[in-house]
């Protein structure tokens, strides 16, 4: 007997969809893309229909019926569902969990697909005047107006619980505050600035792409005006009635870029990132589907927004590792963005001053158009970097005399200074002077970092915290010294050395919660901050016109790493952070970049500083080709974690044997390992890994589905944690 069945993706760890019986009254209500509630064991789950109802023989199996349909129409267009299904297959991840990752939490939970008509609070012109005139004793009114002045459009109506309701009501009555749409409304356009000759040439090259899907790599030096080209392409797309997706690697880059688009076009612009509430993300997601949003600026998860008619995809800082999800569903947003553009016949632009080697290889092969911007808008060349040899110049709290003297010169000339150190905390470890004990993490093969501001030792790998000991736990000695430098220590040293100047620290510890980063960046642009100390968050996309000195406290961390991508990342990071300096057309002092290192003769460092990132990239591409590593080869990493290393090794040896049996002597896929992970113990579990390497993608993807089926059947698979990472960017 033929039955009407429908395939449903459910949030379970099983890598398949589930068939359910379609009641006759629901047959017309189950197109792909609607949510349904179905019985699953003793529970009711919310799932997504992934294919139209079909007829099949029952075969004596008792199929359970769909309980109810939650949506009158599909939540998203067909290309969205195609993207989700492709991602599940490519990354070999359970399709129901991929669907869950692609949907906002309220929709996953079965709530109605109705965007909340959220309103935001904004300060009016009268409100700004009132703020200037209010007496100091009106502290509650001043607090509200000051918050809105510093962060216009950031407080949602109904969520201003930090402010007195009566004060808020009075501010609305006095018309000091007004309610506005949560999604930026169309407004007055600002005029586009004139393009430089180099920008005009680059824009013409981008616009000459054939209609429909195309990919262009826009390689432009820092300060060359790539963002203005994004805006020009977006204008062309919006005039054609299509939507725009702009991906950025960090939450901190979304406010300024969203503001640029809103100011230029007055179009409906929304943000999408993990710093927003689930309700805000849900509102933006549904507004994109309803075409109430024309431009969406977001981090990697924004790639799953349900665009009705996507015409342009921009991936800014496309080289950034933040685009790769490192836990759970390990997708790469840049790669999915390109697939999204292909399915929507949209133009894709990958922008960077330091493109990923994969993107450069595609440009070299002709798969991507390669457009270059080799001059800054200001016409000034990027400042050359100079090395400070730490073998010659001693440091005090991580800083040499030449670097401190340079900071002093630039401050006297009215410039701003950025000191870069990619390490949070005060010191990387605590050392006993007597027995040389260092503070270990009890859960990881790592040292604990001293965070003096919090008075804690913190493991940056598992998050474990504890109080620093008063005496050495090993020998009882009382001489425990912080060794090495982190952002806190550099900040303290600069405050002590330059007491009359404002020093601010930019790292995850300092900027946790709220919109602290954006407020602090505004103060930097207003030149209220003179010395910035920061991690890599300051190397990405920020424009500080008055910044004239960049000092890199230590460039050596990545030079001897076992990770084959380490030198590429170092080249990108040093180029990006150096590019923050000297971007203004006129500067009170010639820009400088100073890099402290104990390896001034390192050939890769010399090549980077002497010939630039492009030359380093060419050498690395040749080395990767010789070793068969990406982009000249393809990798899949099987990780295992267990309470004992032997358990992880036994599982991985079994996995290796299964793969070898399936390959049956074929040499297209090489298996390396199993071997302990570079960090062998983390979060109390021992870690090992098996690496699969192939020169072509196809043999790997032929192997994976059947291999995973067999892995899941291994008895050891149920006794430990294991995961598969397709195209890993981190082998640790």
621 CB neighbour count, 10 Å cutoff: 18
C-alpha 673/C-alpha 488 separation (Å) is 40
In 303-426, beta strands by DSSP E: 310-316, 347-352, 369-373, 385-389, 395-396, 399-400, 416-420
Closest CA to 266 of 185, 191, 154: 185
Non-local CB neighbours of 539 within 8 Å, separated by 6+ positions: 420, 573, 576, 577, 580
DSSP 8-state class, residue 444: S
Instruction: Quickly list DSSP for 691-710.
Output: EEEESSHHHHHHHHHHHHHH
Binding residues for Zn(2+): 432, 435, 441, 444, 459, 462, 472, 475
Indicate the SS3 state at residue 84: helix
Q: In what order do the strands lie in the sheet with 449-451?
A: 449-451, 456-458, 465-466
Q: Which residue has the tokens 């197109």?
A: 31
Q: Give Cα 697 distance to the centre of its chain.
A: 25
Distances (CA, A) of 305 to 186, 287, 309, 313: 21, 10, 11, 12
Closest CA to 222 of 577, 612, 610: 577
336-352 as b/e: b if 16+ CB within 10 A: bbbbbbbbbebbbbbbb
Query: Counting runs of H as helices and runs of E as strands, what totals does the chain give?
Result: 20, 33
Task: Describe the chain by its helix, strand, coil percentages, rounded to 5.
Answer: 35, 25, 40
C-alpha 220/C-alpha 195 separation (Å) is 14
Burial of 463 (0-12, 13-18, 19+ CB in 10 A): exposed
Asked if 394 and 418 count as a contact pair (C-beta separation under 8 A), the reply is no
C-alpha 223/C-alpha 580 separation (Å) is 8
Strands 465-466 and 456-458: antiparallel
Going 717 to 721 to 727 to 730, the CA torsion angle's sign is negative
Closest CA to 55 of 24, 86, 15: 24
Going 282 to 287 to 288 to 294, the CA torsion angle's sign is negative
Binding residues: 432, 435, 441, 444, 459, 462, 472, 475
């Amino acid at each position: 007997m033929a039955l009407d069945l429908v395939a449903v993706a459910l949030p379970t760890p099983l890598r398949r969809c589930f068939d359910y019986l379609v009641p006759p009254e629901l047959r017309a209500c189950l197109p792909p893309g609607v949510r349904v509630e179905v019985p699953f064991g003793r529970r009711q789950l919310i799932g997504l229909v992934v294919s139209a109802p079909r007829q099949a023989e029952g075969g004596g199996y008792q199929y359970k019926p769909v309980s109810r349909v939650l949506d009158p129409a599909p939540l998203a267009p067909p290309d969205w569902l195609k993207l989700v299904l492709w991602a599940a297959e490519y990354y070999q991840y359970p399709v129901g969990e991929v669907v869950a990752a692609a949907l906002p939490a309220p929709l996953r939970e079965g709530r109605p697909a109705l965007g909340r008509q959220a309103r935001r609070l904004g300060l009016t012109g009268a409100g700004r005047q009132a703020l200037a005139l209010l007496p100091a004793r009106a502290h509650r009114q001043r607090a509200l107006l000051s918050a809105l002045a510093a962060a216009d459009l950031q407080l949602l109506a109904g969520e201003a619980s930090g402010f007195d309701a009566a004060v808020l009501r009075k501010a609305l009555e006095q018309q000091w505050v007004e309610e506005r749409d949560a999604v930026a409304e169309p407004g007055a356009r600002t005029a586009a600035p004139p393009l430089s000759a180099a920008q005009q040439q680059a824009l013409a090259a981008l616009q000459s792409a054939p209609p429909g899907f195309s990919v262009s790599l826009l390689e432009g030096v820092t300060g060359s005006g790539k963002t203005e080209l994004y805006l020009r392409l977006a204008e062309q797309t919006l005039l054609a009635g299509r939507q725009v997706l702009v991906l950025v690697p960090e939450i901190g880059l979304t406010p300024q870029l969203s503001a640029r688009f809103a100011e230029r076009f007055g179009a409906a612009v929304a943000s999408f990132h993990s710093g927003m509430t689930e309700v805000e993300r849900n509102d933006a997601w549904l507004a994109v589907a309803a075409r109430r949003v024309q431009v969406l600026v977001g981090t990697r998860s924004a790639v799953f927004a349900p665009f009705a008619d996507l015409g342009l995809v921009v991936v800014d800082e496309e080289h950034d590792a933040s685009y790769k999800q490192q836990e759970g569903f390990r997708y790469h947003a840049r790669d999915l963005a390109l697939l999204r553009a292909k399915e929507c016949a949209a133009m894709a632009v990958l922008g960077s001053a330091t493109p990923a080697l994969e993107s450069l290889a595609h440009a070299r092969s002709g798969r991507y158009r390669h457009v270059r911007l080799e001059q800054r808008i200001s016409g000034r060349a990027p400042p050359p970097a100079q090395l400070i040899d730490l073998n010659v110049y001693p440091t005090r709290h991580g800083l040499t005399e030449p670097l401190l003297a340079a900071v002093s010169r630039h401050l006297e000339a009215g410039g701003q200074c950025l000191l870069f150190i990619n390490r949070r905390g005060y010191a990387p470890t605590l050392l006993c002077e007597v027995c040389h004990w260092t503070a270990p993490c009890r859960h990881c093969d790592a040292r604990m970092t001293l965070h003096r501001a919090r008075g804690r030792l913190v493991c940056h790998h598992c998050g474990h915290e504890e109080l620093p000991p008063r005496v050495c736990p090993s020998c009882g000695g009382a001489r425990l010294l912080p060794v090495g430098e982190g952002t806190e220590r550099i900040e303290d040293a600069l405050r002590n050395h330059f007491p009359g100047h404002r020093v601010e620290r930019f790292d995850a510890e300092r900027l946790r919660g709220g919109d602290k980063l954006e407020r602090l960046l505004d103060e930097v642009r207003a030149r209220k901050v003179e010395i910035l100390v920061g991690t890599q968050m300051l190397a990405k996309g920020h424009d500080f016109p008055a910044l004239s000195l960049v000092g890199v406290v230590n460039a050596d961390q990545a030079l001897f790493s076992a990770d084959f991508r380490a030198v590429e990342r170092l080249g990108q990071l040093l180029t990006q952070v150096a590019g923050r300096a000297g971007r203004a057309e006129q500067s009170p002092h010639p820009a400088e970049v100073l890099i402290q290192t104990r390896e001034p003769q390192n050939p890769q460092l010399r090549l980077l500083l002497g010939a630039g990132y492009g030359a380093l990239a060419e050498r690395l591409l040749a080395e990767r080709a010789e070793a068969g590593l990406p982009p000249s080869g393809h990798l899949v990493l099987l990780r295992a974690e267990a309470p004992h290393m032997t358990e992880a090794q036994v599982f991985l040896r079994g996995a290796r044997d299964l793969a070898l049996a399936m390959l049956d002597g074929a040499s297209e896929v090489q298996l390396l390992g199993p071997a302990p992970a570079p960090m062998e113990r983390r979060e109390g579990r021992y870690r090992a890994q098996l690496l699969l390497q192939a020169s072509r993608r196809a043999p790997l993807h032929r192997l994976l589905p059947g291999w995973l089926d067999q892995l899941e059947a291994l008895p050891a698979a149920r006794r430990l944690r294991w995961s598969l990472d397709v195209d890993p960017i981190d082998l640790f």
